[in-house]
Amino acid sequence: MNTRKLITLDEFTIQETRQFPQATGELSALLRDIGLACKMINKQVLKAGLVDILGKHGATNVQGEEQMKLDVYANETLIAVLKNSNDCAGIASEENDDHVCFDDEYSANSKYIVLFDPLDGSSNIDVNAPIGTIFSIYRRVSPIGTPCTKEDFLQPGNKLMAAGYVIYGSSTMMVYATKLSVNGFTLEPSIGEFCLSHPNLRCPEKGKIYSINQGNSCKYDAGLKTYLEYCMENNKADGRPYSHRYIGSMVADMHRTLIKGGIFMYPADSSSPKGKLRLQYECNPMAFLMEAAGGIASHGAGNILDIVPTELHQRSPIFIGSKSMVEKALEITNATATVA
């Protein structure tokens, strides 16, 4: 690789900022901070298989350090890095009951707040399948100079300034979106930097893959069952059924959907009327990113990004991915949507 051609995440965000004379560089700094925390998480993810050798959660490893569960480590690392930075007034995490306000002078003067799912798909750690961190950045609505408030964290997705994820897979990548574009950065381990590898990502208009936990089919409504039959048998788009792929790690399933096209669904069902995935930590950031890449995201009856959250940990059904596939899914599911 010709290293002179590498553009790091930091260089890229600074170049982007130059296009906006009023920009202060705080958003760039925040993305760098999130990138730093994720590099630290990545280091631990790479060692996950050694935990049995070095000691499990609650035990002490050979260096005398206490072992922490990876999701706890990821959460604490993100909080510590963002608290240390000058650019974040507070956070909300899937792992914490309530938001955390960084109540010091510098944090109170920052204009952004961050929400995150520190380690999404954590049940996949034991089997070496990809996992990820998902993040959202909002401009706060409370006055700058005061501590942030709950209202800052209950903004609809259409108010997002930036959102993205880091995937800990066969390589480690950060993909983030602003309203302008979606860009992917691969971690170059020898220099420890995320480097631009996937500029201006666009989700293909059509795809050939559907992704859903089909083991829950008995709990799906009639409309969704009809759509799944369409995916398996009646889809004549390519003269063959769609392929089914489901990793069970949203970041990994979304990353494939973004790059190859397709549809990812986590619907409501008879035992979970609002689905499983969290609006603020999973659905909104992915919906924002997908829209910026030319795809769409729906909760089944409207745009995910228009939901005004009423609580931090609320859930939402999601249908997301290639525009024509999501539109077709909504057309079929809305035609007959009674719970079976």
Q: Which stretch binds Mg ion (CB under 5 A): 66-74, 114-122, 148-156, 324-332?
A: 114-122
Site string for ligand AHM, 186-225 (x = CB under 6 A): ---------------------------x------------
Q: How far is CA 217 from CA 221, 227, 288, 300, in A?
A: 8, 11, 28, 17
Q: Which stretch binds ligand AHM (CB under 6 A): 75-83, 115-123, 219-227, 293-301?
A: 115-123
Query: Considering the complex, what minimum distance in angstroms separates the CB of residue 189 from Mg ion?
Result: 26
Q: If binding is defined by CB under 6 A, does position 276 make contact with ligand AHM?
A: yes
Q: Which stretch binds ligand AHM (CB under 6 A): 5-13, 118-126, 178-186, 305-313?
A: 118-126
Query: Cα separation of 172 and 167, whole Å?
Result: 6
Task: Please identify which residue in 26, 33, 87, 120 interacts with ligand AHM, judged by CB under 6 A.
Answer: 120
Query: Considering the complex, what minimum distance in angstroms separates the CB of residue 295 from ligand AHM?
Result: 17
Q: If binding is defined by CB under 6 A, does position 313 make contact with ligand AHM?
A: no
Query: Considering the complex, what minimum distance in angstroms separates the CB of residue 188 from ligand AHM?
Result: 26
Beta carbon nearer to ligand AHM, 202 or 276:
276
- Note every long-range contact of 334-338, with CB atoms under 8 Å and residues 24 or more positions apart, other chains counting: 334/223, 334/300, 334/301, 335/223, 335/226, 336/221, 336/222, 336/223, 336/226, 337/221, 337/222, 337/223, 337/224, 337/300, 338/221, 338/222, 338/223
Q: Which stretch binds Mg ion (CB under 5 A): 120-128, 172-180, 189-197, 231-239?
A: 120-128
Rg (CA), the chain: 20
Complete edge-to-edge strand list for the sheet that includes strand 172-177: 100-101, 90-93, 112-120, 131-139, 160-168, 172-177, 182-188, 193-198
- Where are the strands (E) in the chain, listed by range? 90-93, 100-101, 112-120, 131-139, 160-168, 172-177, 182-188, 193-198, 209-211, 243-244, 263-266, 296-298, 318-321
Task: Please identify which residue in 33, 117, 221, 253 interacts with Mg ion, judged by CB under 5 A.
Answer: 117
Q: If binding is defined by CB under 6 A, does position 122 make contact with ligand AHM?
A: yes
Task: Please identify which residue in 248, 270, 311, 340 interacts with ligand AHM, judged by CB under 6 A.
Answer: 248
Query: Considering the complex, what minimum distance in angstroms separates the CB of residue 71 from ligand AHM?
Result: 8
Q: Which stretch binds ligand AHM (CB under 6 A): 80-88, 120-128, 163-171, 181-189?
A: 120-128
Q: If binding is defined by CB under 5 A, does position 71 make contact with Mg ion?
A: no
Q: If binding is defined by CB under 6 A, does position 265 make contact with ligand AHM?
A: no
Q: What is the DSSP letter of 65?
A: P
Beta carbon nearer to Mg ion, 26 or 120:
120
Q: Which residue has the tokens 């499983």?
A: 276
The answer to whether 115 touches 135, Cβ cutoff 8 Å, is yes
Query: Considering the complex, what minimum distance in angstroms separates the CB of residue 250 from ligand AHM?
Result: 3
Residues 6+ apart with CB under 8 A from 233: 241
Burial class (CB in 10 A: 0-12, 13-18, 19+), 197: middle
The residues that touch ligand AHM, with contacts defined as CB under 6 A, are 117, 120-122, 213, 248-250, 266, 276
Which chain residues interact with Mg ion by CB under 5 A?
117, 120
